Structure formats: C-alpha cells, structure tokens
Structure 1
Amino acid sequence: MDESGYSPGCVKVHMRRWILHVLPYLKKIGATAYTCEIGRRFLFETLPTLTPSAQRRYKRSIRILDAFLQTGNIPKHAKRVAEPPLPGEIGAVCKEFLVYKIGQRCRLITVENYQRLLSYFVTSLNVNGKTTFAQIEESDIIAFLNVEESKSSRLSTMRQFYRYVSKRHPDIKDMTYIFEFMHSTRTSRLPSTYERDEIKAIESHVDRSGPIGKRTYAMLLLSTRLGLRISDIIGLTFDDLDWDRSMLNIIQAKTGRTVELPLLKDVGEAIVSYLKVRPKTSSPNIFVTHVLPYTPMNRSGAARHISNVIVGSNIHTAGRKHGPHSMRFSLATRLLQQGTGLVCISETLGHSGTDVTMNYLRIDINSLTRCMHDVPQVDDNFYNQSNGGFYE
C-alpha cells in the first residue's frame, strides 16, 4: 500500500480493521489462512450490523485483501461518481425538482443535499423492482423516512419534493397527505464549549513535525482563533489572504456574506509554516490533500483531523461534541465573557443577524445572571385578603 501511494493514515486504518475484525473471524471459524471466499463470508455476517458508511469501509478493506491475493497489487480507489445517480422515470422528475430549487435561488450545497437523499430514495425503490411513480406505495415513503440517518433532512426533502410533484405533475398520485402530520422533533441542546486552558491544551497537542500536522494546526487555529466554519476553512484560497493589511477576506459558503477578519500573528505564521511544506499543485485552495492528485480537502476529512486532535489531547470530552464547530461556540463564549457586544460577535462569526447570535447567549451563564431582576418582597397583607380566605 505504501508503494501504491496510500497515506500512512489510510494504511493504519485498514490494518486496524484487519487485525481487530478479520483476524478474530479467522480464528472463530478455525481458518489458518485468508481466502476470497472467507472474505465474502465475513462481509455476509458482518455488514447487517453496520451503518451504510461503515459497510462501504469494510467492503473496501476486503477488496484490498482480495485484489492483493489474486494479483499481487493493491487497487486504487475507484473514481467517485460526480453526481448521485437519478435514473429512470422517477429520477427524471427528481432532476426537474432540483432545477426548480436552483431557480428559486436555493443554495447549491442545499440542492446537493436534496440530490443525495433523492438518489437514496430512487435507489431503494429500484432495489425493490419499482421504477415508476405508479408503483410507489405509502409504505415505501414511510420506510425511507424511518431511517435514523439524516431523518429530519429526509422528511424535509421528501415533503418539498412531493409538493412539487403535486403541483407540476397532476397525473402522478398525490402523496402530500403523508407529510401532513409528520414533524421533525429536534431537541434543543446547549452548545458544546471549551475553556481557554482547554483550547490551549488542544492546540499544543498537535504534532507539527510533519506536513500533515502543520496543515492540521493551521486549520485548527482558524477555528479556535477566528471561529471559521469548516466549509470556509477548506474553501480558503490565496486570494482571501491580504498579507499587506494582515486581513482575511472570505465569502462564507453557508451565508454567501463577505466577512473581513484580522489575520492574527499566530494564525498567519501557522499558514506560512504549512505553505512551506504544501504539495506543489495548481489548486487555488490553501489546504489540499497530500496524496496524488493533490485535490482540495473535503469537509469530512478536515473535520476528522481537528476532531482527532481534540480527542487525543486528553481533555475531558464526555458529553461534549468535539468537532471544529465546538471551537466556534467556544470563541463566542470567550467574547461574551469579555463583554463584547452582540453586533461585534455577529460580524466576527459572520451571522446573518444578531438574532442568530442570541442563540449563543445560552452558553454564557454569567451574562444571563446579570439580566436577572430581584424578586420583590410580598406584603404580609397580601395573604390576609378576604379575611384570610385568599386560597379558598
């Protein structure tokens, strides 16, 4: 795998999977050597207990073993499909819906999420031999909505899709009634935050001796010191950096708003340190992968690196989220504790308005207590009204 250009981290992940899961399975069935047939049996027994994403990872590990056993070579990753497939009659209407949402000026990242979930729906129907709208039953839609993964997003996507279908395709059976009494039940949770000394421990935990560590450290500081979202961190380009003015100018991926932030000394030095070891590539993005063909980093990969640093720093994370967004909440907490006004915090974090920033007040108990009023004393005569008959 090293000779084929796989990163050390990727090799480590597959090795762990083989040692912790495949080898015990060999011992369980009394086998002394791995074969392709054993690999298939292993997947047949293991996959039903895993999530869809974990299933893909296990299949990949087994395919690597099978290919090496049969050819002596390690296969490269298959190229990812540019767009989730939407085949057939149902897929054609799904594509119409996506074009419609784009026409409504819906954000591209939201449309991509619609496309991904609709592709899952169409694929699940095709697996059951259903390729037309006439074949879709209530149970098919309900089964798709009952999957725990992205449950609220599935409900929102399907509700909007069938509203579109009912208006634009009256010949198709109207299924909008299914969604009338369905509501997403999101529970409000307090944001996860970390204290100043914990943030310092997290930052100091990064091993900056290699290129990957330098990249992770620079991304982490953009999160802890400037409160950037992970989408804006991976989208950062050379044009966004104004070295002469020591400023950072970005157009936020989520809101589309332009934000100007000071390029703090520690942040700037971390970026420069990474640029010295960054792979040579024509990509305008600052942060890129370190495995050929050196493409811009994706959200999950960048977030995973930051999350691994937080967990590995040995601070107490039980009951708290440990992703890059928790660093953003933590920055808001510190600003509030320092007495920074809501308008300033809203501008720093790139919120659409102070009403969004108000959500961050939930994490600043000290500020909330300053808003409390003393309860006035109740006059003794209050309880003696109507000759003591107040409670009758």
Structure 2
Amino acid sequence: MKYVIHNQVVLARAPEGPLAAYLVAFANALGAQGYSVERLKVQVRIAARFSQWLKQRGVGARDIRFDHTILYLRYRIRHVRGQSCVNDRAALRHLIDFLRSEGVIAVEKAATRRVPPAEICAQAYAEYLRDAQALVAVTIINYVPFVRDFLHYCFGDGKVTLSRLRAADVVGFVQLNAPRLHLKRAKLMTTALRSFLRYVRSRGDVTLDLAAAVPVVANWSMPSIPRAISADQTRQLLASIDRHTAVGRRNYAILLLLARLGLRSGEVAFLELDDIDWGSGQLNVRGKSGQRNELPLPADVGKAIAGYLQNGRPPSASRRVFLSARAPITGFGPNGVGSLVRRSLQRAGIDAPTTGAHQFRHGLATQMLNHGASISEIGGVLGHRCPQTTKIYCKVDIKALRTLALPWPGGVR
C-alpha cells in the first residue's frame, strides 16, 4: 500500500521507526526552503530508510545523535549494493538540523577544547568594542584578527602577560606585516593596534602609552588612478545577460543597481523589500557604519527589479530582495554579489579592469565627473561623508592625456 508524504512524494509503504511521525513536517520544511519535488523526494526517502534502521537498533527519537548518521552511512556503504549513497550525507545533515530546530533532539555540546589565551584576550577586546564602544560588527570583524595575530606574535600559545609588552614588540609586528598588506589594510592594522593598546592601558594592564609607538604607515595621497569599468564595457555586459530566465532577471537587476547607482556589493546584498518606495521612486540604502542613504530609483532600475520580483524571485519568507536560485533559498551575501560579477564578466568575454563589483562604483563616479558633476554631487550619490574620499575620482590619467596632446609647433626641439 502506497503512503503519501507530501504532494507528489510517495513511499512504497508506510514509514516505520522513531522518525515516521516527523517525515511530513520534514517534507514541508524542505518545500518551504525551495527544494524541487525531485530533491524533496530523495531526502524524504533517505530519512525514511534511516528511521527504519534506527528502529532495528532500538533507538528512540529522543536518543538520536549525530553519531547515528555516521554509523548509518557506514552501514549503507557496506551492505547496500547497486545503489548510490552520494545524497545520504547531505540529506541526513538536513534531517538532524530539522529535528534540532523542532526540539525533537537536543543540540549536542561540542567537545571542549583548550582556548588559547591570545584568543580569550582578543574576544574580551571584541566585547569591549561591541558593548562599550558600540562599534558596528564590520569594524569589529576587521579589528580583532589583527589584534589576535599581534598577541600570538608576542606570546604564541602561552600565557598572555600584557604588562610585558614593549614598544619593540609593537614596532616589530608592524614592520613584519605591513609590507605584506595592501596600503589600506596596513593602515587598518595600525588603527586596530592603537585601539587595542589604548584599551589595555585603560584597564591598567599596561602603564606605557604603547599606542604612540605604533608606526605610521606611509600614505601617498591617492597613489593610483581608480580602476573603473568603462561605459562601453558596462553596456556590453548588461546586453549579454539572458533576461528570459529567472536567474538572468535577477543578475540583470543586480548589475544595473551596481552600474546606475554605484552601490557597494553589501548594499545590494542586504537590500530589503521594504527599502523600495515604489510610490515616490526612492531607494533606502544601508551604507557603511549603518547610515541610511535615500537615492532616487531610476525607471530602468525599478523596471528590472520589478521584473525579477514578479517573474523570477522564488517564494520565500525572507525580506531580502535578491535570493539564491538554489535551495535552501536564502538572501544573497556580499561575496555572492562579487562572484556574480566575476562570472558574468567571464561569460561575456569582457576584459574589465578588475573582476569585482567596486569597479562599477568607480565607473559611475568617473562618468559623472566627465559630465560636469561636482564633487559634492558625486559624493552624495556614492554616500561619501568626507569630500576627501570623493576627490580620488578627480585624478587625471596622465598617460591617457599624452595621446591627446597636440604636437609642438616646429617639431621636437
């Protein structure tokens, strides 16, 4: 007798074992995450076989542990001939996650391990930045790895005795690491060190003003021309996108946001449905440090987003505008936007200045400058709070200008 689990998911017989009562809810959860019917069938059938195996070994629902999935996979490999077990591992991981989320089984505690003293000190500093300084998560994520590396450089895996720190330790660490880093990363490293050393001095762990010992990284004002994608390359890229598919409509809308509004990859990734005011044609963008920027929504960008929302975006409870195309359906991440740009450029055969998303931001600013926009106007569109940040786009490419120079009358002298 056949047993219907979820719409088109049918088992040859009624499920057995401790998980039989949870298979329908498991199937519904997979369906809500956007899995196709075929993938859903495979995962439910694997869960049913696992439940039957648990019954044979007398394991109750509350006694299930992740180790049981490992034992089951070994059993399948040894005893099941002529059937592939390639999907079992992922399906069982999804099943265990579902059972934990439903409270059927307890979350297992990870094996305790010795946390290095340097890591404990770095995490205490992170809590200080978050709770006392109220810094945004991105800043903390950028600062803490440098501090962790500094502590490891000074103390290794041993005890962290901050009172033993000396100026030579600070200078040695910067001299070792600065040459390996991009200029901006090197400056970020020294900023993080000064912050940390002021923090430990305020706590009384050190008495010396070691923050003053942090070397200054040489800062040549705007050393290079911004790498901007050209207007022709942008048009070629947008024309190469197949907008007859759901993925194509999504990618086109993302690339158009980058090109027409100069948004950062994170600003595109974290854009939510409520950030779009269709009535007034406004876009509310979350910029750096949490600030909000209201930007006009160009007609072509709005049309592209609407096309994706109506005929491309998968059904989901997520409020993010752009979602992954494959299950589990989740919101885009900043790295995902960068990967999308890289793949799109490769498919279009475009030899762009870089493979990242930031070149569209440079490209928009350069085009605005060429059309006579002021520094303040460009900064307003890009969300710059400091005019100095925008001035990088006023730099002149001397090598390119030489090709436009008129010959000196009478020839070279």
TM bucket by the smaller chain? 0.5 to 0.7
Deviations 1:116-146 (A, max 9, x none): 44456678899x6425337999499569836
Q: Which residue of 1 aligns with 2:109?
A: none
What is the SS of the residue equivalent to 2:284? strand
Match of 2:313 in 1: 278
* C-alpha spacing 1:133/1:215, structure 2 compared with 1 (3 Å): farther
Count how many residue pairs are aligned between Structure 1 and Structure 2. 296
User: TM-score, with normalisation over the residues of structure 2?
Assistant: 0.59
How many Å separate the matches in 2 of 1:69 and 1:176? 60
Q: Please list the CA deviations of residues 300-357 of structure 1 after superposition, one character each: whole Å capped at 9, or x if unmatched.
A: 111111122234322333xx22321111111111111111222222211111143322
**2:101 aligned partner:** none
Contact 2:174 2:190 in 1 (8 A): no
Change (3 A) 1:293 1:199: same
Matches within 5 A, 1:320-335: 320-335=353-368
Distance verdict in 2 for CA 1:224–1:266, change over 3 Å: same
Closer, same or farther: CA 123–300 of 1 in aligned 2, 3 Å: farther
> 1:217-366, aligned counterparts within 5 Å?
217-252=252-287, 254-275=288-309, 276-317=311-352, 320-362=353-395
Answer whether contact 1:121 1:144 (CA < 8 A) is retained: no
Aligned partners of 2:178 and 2:316: how far apart in 1? 44
**Cα distance in 2 between the residues matched to 1:197 and 1:175:** 54
**Corresponding residue for 1:13?**
none
Highest Rg: 1 or 2? 2
Question: Is the CA contact (8 Å cut-off) linking 1:207 and 1:213 kept in structure 2?
Answer: yes
Cα 1:118–1:287, aligned 2, differ >3 Å: closer, same or farther?
farther
Given the superposition, is the C-alpha separation of residues 122 and 147 from structure 1 closer, same or farther in structure 2, using an over 3 Å criterion? farther
Deviation at 1:283, TM superposition (A): 1.3
Of all paired residues, the percent bearing the same amino acid is: 25
Contact 1:333-1:363 within 8 A present in 2 as well = no
Structure 1 counterpart of 2:300, one-letter code: D
- List aligned pairs for 1:171-210, cutoff 5 A: 176=210, 180-181=214-215, 183=217, 188-210=223-245
Q: Report the CA distance between 1:224 and its aligned residue.
A: 0.3
Residue segments in structure 2 that go unaligned for 5+ positions in a row: 1-32, 36-73, 79-83, 98-112, 403-413
CA distance in 1, matches of 2:305, 2:121: 46
Give how far 1:227 is off.
0.9
Which sections of structure 1, spanning at least 5 residues, go unmatched? 8-65, 80-84, 370-392
Query: CA-atom RMSD, angstroms?
Result: 4.2
Structure 2 matches for 1:105-184, cutoff 5 A?
105-118=134-147, 129-133=157-161, 138=169, 141=173, 145=177, 148=180, 152=186, 153-170=188-205, 176=210, 180-181=214-215, 183=217
Q: CA deviation at 1:198?
A: 1.6
Q: Deviations over 1:178-231 (max 9, x none)?
A: 953463667722101233222100111223343332222111100101111111
Relative to structure 1, the CA distance from residue 351 to residue 72 in structure 2 (aligned partners, 3 Å threshold; closer, same or farther) is same
Note closer, same or farther for the CA distance 1:226–1:94 as it changes in structure 2 (3 Å cut).
Answer: same
- TM-score, scaled to structure 1: 0.62
